[in-house]
Amino acid sequence: MKKFILLLFICFGTIQAQTDSINQLDEIVLRGNFSPVVNSGYEVKVISDSILKNSYSSLGELLQEQANFYFKQNGYGMVSSISLRGTSASQTGVFWNGIGINSALNGQTDFNTIQANGFDELEVRKGGGSVLLGNGAIGGAVNLKDQVSFYDKKDLKVLLGAGSFDTYFGQATGTFSTDRFYAKVSGGLQYSQNDYPYPESDLRNENGAFENYNLNATFGFKLNEMHSIKLHSAFFENDRELSRTLTTESNSKLKNTDQRFLLDWIYVGNRFTSSFKTALLHEEFTYLFDKNRPSNESVGSSNRFIAKYDLSYFFTNSLFLKGGVEFENAKGDGSNIDDASRDDFTAYVLMHHEPWERFQYNVSLRAGASSAYSIPVIYSLDARYGLSEKFSVRAALSTNYRLPTFNDLYWEPGGNPDLKPEFSSSAEAGLDFSSKGFTLSGTFYVINSEDLIQWRPVTQDFWRPENVSKASNRGFETTMGYSKSFKDHSLNFKLTYDYTLAKDKELDKNLIYVPEHKAAGLIDYSWKKWRFNYHLQYVGEVFITTNNSQSLDDYFLSNVSFNRLFLKDMLAVQFKINNLFDTNYQSVAYRPMPGRNYVIQINFKL
């Protein structure tokens, strides 16, 4: 701790030494916590509106194709959880316009309950980010972003489609804006009988039907040149039967509802920028053990109030301080949780400095207090150095945490109110190259975690969570891309490879459901009004038992799509083939995924 305090004194001493020669600053912009500038030593990727709106897909499907992320799925449309750099689903932060939305009940996000094309932009950040982002961002984080732009614009986008297994979907988005006002409303639905046959079996995906409904609305008001207000709201409802396995029938059903509201007051001045957010998040679920006996159910819900204030002060164009405070009150209730409540308060500070043209670094610190557990003090150091205009190197060192959930603390029977947060330390180093449309990047990383929470049996019928596990994750990630346009042609391709070795340090065995090898290739070719897209993914063997005695086979998965523009490019028709080679694969044991299937959709823009 003394070293951290000394480091902050050095930082502030540097600031004081430079305030004597303050010159007129260039234009000041608001830098969010996913900005590459305040994440100099990390890889930050932005998935743009053009990709998000191209097809109707869940957040998990999009990230699997665009970022080579690994997901466990209990069958198509069922519960989908992420494993980023070998960490658990609750160790990946999911954010909505800068507000964390991982469940207060189980600490995770089901990536099949979020429709990607309801948003304008997706920010993906790999590596430990708890200092800037808070709870859970150990393996990385994803931010769903609604863009607000004040200029004259009117448009309407409609997407309609149908696919195999009686699947139908639609989405409509309307946008209206002026130099002072912005409004966007987007709504969609999806229905699927989802009764695909299990490959190499006489069984079908019985009890697998699902319905999704989503409604998002964003409003912006520009009060003057310095002040603006943004209002965001999101509603999602998912009603799905839970598929059988290869060995067991199912008649269960799960209904999830999420409602989110956010008010963001933004100020951009000559030297100060600030953002004051207040948010209300509501989640609830109803689980029917037998859908024909609705009285036999388990229910749960949580309500969260969040107030968050971020402030940046620019001493010069190359030196600024950024800090923030966040308060959260969360309440949970349900069949196995009785009126649980907690209050969390955290604060962070970051210094960004570019002492010379090609070198920049960040030093940051976060601390907090809670009514339910002890929040550790954590820090982050990261830097980037440009070896030339084409080459740059980056490095980062950080500590991070994941807080216990309501289920961990208060579940009856078994909850443990004496749990400590999971704690990790991580380090990474990377190299980036870019020249004439060609890009190449590589990253080595190490994550060491302790006090991991595991539910363990106390008796035959009684389980209780304890801080007992330690894990070590290390790996290498590389991405190569190329883009070229000439005359009526456009070509883009990308290759990625991830090596991940995640071990339980107590058992000296690989963690379950973490592929050691994972690779993907993406080719996108356009000619005049035609477009061709091919995605290939390889997922290596994964262990499904803690002693590594059983595993799932590796597999290759291919998807291909064809697009054609009509009516002066206002109408786009897409035909897509998923699982082109009819691969028999499972991402969760005994839960087969669909074989070859087809989707056709129409995008209309007015």
Q: Which residue type occupies 11?
A: C
Contacts of 508 (CB under 8 A, 6+ apart): none
Give the span between the Cα atoms of 123 and 34, in whole angstroms: 7
Cis peptide before 413 (omega within 30 of 0): yes
pLDDT per position as a tens digit, 28-46? 777 889 999 999 999 999 9
Give the span between the Cα atoms of 473 and 486, in whole angstroms: 43
The DSSP secondary-structure symbol of 58 reads B
Output helix, strand, coil percentages for the chain, rounded to the nearest 5: 10, 60, 35
Helix (H/G/I), strand (E/B), else coil: 51:
helix
Mean pLDDT of 151-178: 95
pLDDT per position as a tens digit, 587-606? 999 999 999 999 999 999 98
pLDDT per position as a tens digit, 347-376? 999 999 999 989 999 999 999 999 999 999
Asked whether the beta carbons of 370 and 342 are under 8 A apart, the reply is yes
Is pLDDT above 60 for 15?
Answer: no
DSSP letter string over 242-305?
----SS-----EEEEEEEEEEEEEEEE-SSEEEEEEEEEEEEEEEEESSTT-TTSEEEEEEEEE
pLDDT per position as a tens digit, 217-241? 999 999 999 999 999 999 999 999 9
2-605 is a CATH 2.40.170.20 domain: yes
What's the token pair of residue 510? Answer: 């690989």
Is pLDDT above 60 for 9?
Answer: no
What is the Cβ-side half-sphere exposure of residue 302, based on CA atoms within 13 angstroms?
25
The DSSP secondary-structure symbol of 111 reads T
What's the token pair of residue 304? Answer: 């969260």
> Count of CB atoms within 10 A of residue 302's CB?
22
- Of the pLDDT bands very low, low, confident and very high (cuts 50, 70, 90), residue 3 is very low
> Count of CB atoms within 10 A of residue 412's CB?
11
What's the token pair of residue 241? Answer: 């039967």
- Of the pLDDT bands very low, low, confident and very high (cuts 50, 70, 90), residue 462 is confident
What's residue 32's pLDDT?
87
Which runs of consecutive H residues, i.e. helices, occur in 341-381? Answer: none
- Of the pLDDT bands very low, low, confident and very high (cuts 50, 70, 90), residue 4 is very low
What's the token pair of residue 574? Answer: 């897409």
Is pLDDT above 90 for 557?
Answer: yes
Mean pLDDT of 243-248: 94
What's residue 26's pLDDT?
61
Range name among 54-58, 138-142, 529-533 with the lowest pLDDT average: 54-58
Q: Which residue type occupies 283?
A: E
CA distances from 337 to 105, 298, 340, 415 (A): 9, 11, 7, 9
Is pLDDT above 80 for 84?
Answer: yes
pLDDT per position as a tens digit, 283-315? 999 999 999 988 889 999 999 999 999 999 999
Contacts of 264 (CB under 8 A, 6+ apart): 97, 229, 230, 231, 232, 275, 276, 277
What's residue 24's pLDDT?
54
Asked whether the beta carbons of 478 and 441 are under 8 A apart, the reply is yes
| Residue of 254, 310, 312, 311 whose CA lies nearest to 283 | 254
pTM, 2 dp: 0.92
The DSSP secondary-structure symbol of 541 reads -
- Of the pLDDT bands very low, low, confident and very high (cuts 50, 70, 90), residue 532 is very high
Give the span between the Cα atoms of 606 and 117, in whole angstroms: 17
The DSSP secondary-structure symbol of 39 reads G
Mean pLDDT of 73-88: 92
Give me the residue spans of the domains in the chain. 2-605
Helix (H/G/I), strand (E/B), else coil: 186:
strand
Contacts of 317 (CB under 8 A, 6+ apart): 25, 26
Buried b (16+ CB within 10 A) or exposed e, 552-582: beebebbbebebebeeeeeebebebbbbbee
Asked whether the beta carbons of 302 and 406 are under 8 A apart, the reply is yes
pLDDT per position as a tens digit, 264-288? 999 999 899 999 999 999 999 999 9
Q: Which residue type occupies 230?
A: K
Mean pLDDT over the full length of the chain: 91
Give the span between the Cα atoms of 545 and 537, in whole angstroms: 24
Helix (H/G/I), strand (E/B), else coil: 448:
strand
| Residue of 158, 161, 235 whose CA lies nearest to 191 | 161
pLDDT per position as a tens digit, 370-410? 999 999 999 999 999 999 999 999 999 999 999 999 999 99
Give the span between the Cα atoms of 443 and 429, in whole angstroms: 6
What's residue 27's pLDDT?
65
Question: What is the chain's Cα-based Rg?
Answer: 24
